[in-house]
Amino acid sequence: GAQNSQVCQFCKLSLLADSIVLLNHSKDCTNASRPDLSFRYVCYTCDYHSYTSDRMRHHIRTHIGEKPYKCDYCDYCCIQASAMKIHLRKHSGEKPFTCLYCDYSCSQSNNLTCHMKLKHINQLYEETLNL
Check residue 2 and give its pLDDT. Answer: 46
The whole model's pTM is what? 0.65
Sign of CA dihedral 86, 87, 93, 99: positive
pLDDT reported for residue 37: 67
Cα–Cα distance list, 46 to 43, 60, 110, 121 (Å): 6, 10, 29, 41
Instruction: Please compute, for residue 112, the number of CA atoms within 13 A of its CA located in the half-sphere on the CB side.
Output: 15
Cα 53 from Cα 58, distance rounded (Å) = 9
With 70 as the cut, is the pLDDT of residue 3 above it?
A: no
Residues 36-89: tens digit of each pLDDT: 767 788 898 888 989 898 999 999 999 999 999 999 999 999 999 999 999 999
